[in-house]
Amino acid sequence: MSHCQVCLVKCISLLLTLATLYSSCPLSYKANCFAKMRVAIVGVGHVGCALAADLESRGVQTILWAAPGHRTIFDRLASQNYLEASEAMTGRFYPAFTTNFSKLVQYADVIIVAVPTTGHRAILTELAGHNLHRHIVVFITGNFVGPVAAATVTAHAIVCTSRSPYTSRTEETNTGETRIRFNGIKKRLEIAGFGKIDLSVRNVLSRVFSIPLIWYSNTLKLDLATNHGVVHPPTMLSNMGAINNKANLFFYRDCMTAEVCSLMLAADRERLAIAAALGFTDLEDILEMFNSDYGTEHTDLATFMQQIDALNKKPGLPDSLQARQISQDIPFWCVPVASLGKALKVPTPVIDGWILSSMCINQVDYQGAGRTLQTFGVRGNASAKEILRAFRVTDESSEDCEEHVHHSSRSQRANL
């Protein structure tokens, strides 16, 4: 063997050794050394597609997977072999696609679950079959999934967000192309880890998301710091005729009237009272949330709904009363919140009424299907201390904070 061949063999051997060592490196090392990240996205709906476009636009390689029976958009995109984005973000992107969940897990150290909460159980079953000791698993949105996920999978970190980073929709163009329409990109993303989250995880996720991260000290507080559960149900229940008749209305501008907003505000007071009973006294009210998310300064909720452009791009109502605005928000937000209220002796008559009305209308036992205190492994009459323990909230929990190192803002894409 010539000298050159010997050198080549040694170089290849060294590279293989380095690759093996890197694959077993802690996330703290990877967060500081890699130039390219790879992110796996579970779910190819409006959130999953928006995430893929955003990540690919910043040089982060992504792979998309959709569950069997939920692959309509996945199949269209895989067939056209690209993802087109319009409005607030534009471009043509080329994420990878796979139907093999094992390949998805092997592809990346960050797995983002971007499916409706109704799909969490199936996804957790898939995840439970894999070794995730080096993975960060992110749920968008959490909806009280933290204790459920921790009891099912063993990951390096389980992280939840309060909502999506974007206001987005998938759509089919006149030419038959499937694309993602970014109606708006929010000004921040509220996020929390289940249990203690180390700095390396925060650093990695600051590169994954392109907007500032607001870290909450625990997922229970985060789950109570969201707005969809008080916004969607009253709008659906107050506009049943329009939804059933497929009226050409704007969901926010036309359906969220001053009267509907009054219902939202009443439920929001119940949410804040429950949070206060758990010691979380600094949460934003619903209008403050919207203003912070969209960078507005409205003083009236109904006016916000009328005037916010990002939420009123095109008319269109949910397909039916079984849409996610009921099938997700009632069992996976309203039911657990009402369960918390009952244990803490905080009345929730407005939220209780939405649950009962939705069960009657859709003939679905949302109480039985939803998440309650028993789901989290505690008694229905548990004390605040027992509830906090179930969500791993301790006196040593870190305080809420804004992301102190944000690497992936749009002005810093070249740094990735």
pLDDT by residue (tens digit) across 64-122?
Answer: 999 999 999 999 999 999 999 999 999 999 999 999 999 999 999 999 999 999 999 99
Residues of the chain with CATH 3.40.50.720: 37-218+399-415
- pLDDT tens per residue across span 35-54: 478 999 999 999 999 999 99
* Cα end-to-end span (Å), the chain: 41
Give the per-residue pLDDT at 20: 46
How far apart CA 184 and CA 170 sit, in angstroms, is 13
C-alpha span between 330 and 233 (Å, rounded): 7
- Is the bond preceding 141 in cis, omega lying within 30 degrees of 0? yes
Residues 121-144 pLDDT 10s: 999 999 999 999 999 999 999 999
| pLDDT for residue 222 | 98
What strands, in cross-sheet order, belong to the sheet with 83-87? 91-93, 83-87, 178-185, 166-172
| Number of other residues whose CB lies within 10 A of the CB of residue 201 | 20
Q: How far apart are CA 126 and CA 98, in angstroms?
A: 14
| Tokens encoding 59 | 């040089």
Which residues are CB-contacts of 223 (< 8 A; sequence separation ≥ 6)?
A: 142, 143, 144, 146, 160, 162, 333, 336
DSSP 404: S
Superfamily designation of domain 37-218+399-415: NAD(P)-binding Rossmann-like Domain (3.40.50.720)
| Sites in the chain below the pLDDT cut of 50 | 9, 15-35, 396-398, 403-416
Q: Which of 242, 271, 272, 261 is closest to 304 using CA atoms? A: 261
CA gap 408, 211 in Å, rounded:
7
Residue type present at position 220: L
Which superfamily, per CATH, for 228-390? N-(1-d-carboxylethyl)-l-norvaline Dehydrogenase; domain 2 (1.10.1040.10)
Every domain range in the chain assigned CATH 1.10.1040.10: 228-390
pLDDT of residue 394: 76
Residue 110 main-chain phi, psi, to 5 deg: -115, 120
Place of tokens 């003939």: 363
DSSP state of 110: E
Contact 145, 333 (CB under 8 A): no
